[in-house]
Amino acid sequence: MRFWPSRFRRGPKTKNGRDRAWKRFVHQELTGYSPIMTGDRVLAFFLLATLILIPLGAAILAASLGVVEYKARYDNLGALNGTSKAEQQSVLWNNQDGGVVQSVTITTTKHMKAPVYVYYELQSFYQNHKRYVRSLVSAQLGGKNKAPNTLGTCAPQQYVNDMQNAVDPRNGQSLSDGAAVDPCGLMPYSYFNDSYVMSQQQPGGALTVVDLDETNIAWASDKNSLYGHYKPTNFNEIPQFRGGGTINSSYTYVNDDEHFLVWMRPGAARTVRKLYARINSDIPAGTTIYATVNNRYNTYNFGGRKLIVLSTHSWVGGHNNALGGIMLTIGGLAFLTAIIFFCLYHLNKHRRSYADASRLSWNRTNLVN
Summarised one tens digit per residue, pLDDT across range 265-285 is 999 999 999 999 999 999 999
Cis peptide before 156, with omega less than 30 degrees from 0? yes
Q: Give the lowest-confidence range in 2-16, 32-46, 125-139, 342-356.
A: 2-16
**For residues 200 and 290, is the Cβ–Cβ distance under 8 A?**
yes
- CA–CA distance, 198 with 106 (Å, rounded to integer): 11
- CA–CA distance, 173 with 166 (Å, rounded to integer): 9
> Judging by DSSP bridges, how do beta strands 69-73 and 100-107 pair with one another?
unpaired
Q: What percent of the chain has pLDDT over 70?
A: 90
**Mean pLDDT for the stretch of residues 156-183:** 77
- CA–CA distance, 20 with 170 (Å, rounded to integer): 81
**Mean pLDDT for the stretch of residues 12-22:** 63
**For residues 226 and 260, is the Cβ–Cβ distance under 8 A?**
no
pTM of the model: 0.80
User: How would you classify residue 34: left for phi > 0, otherwise alpha for psi between -120 and 50, otherwise beta?
Assistant: beta
121 vs 95, residue with greater confidence: 121
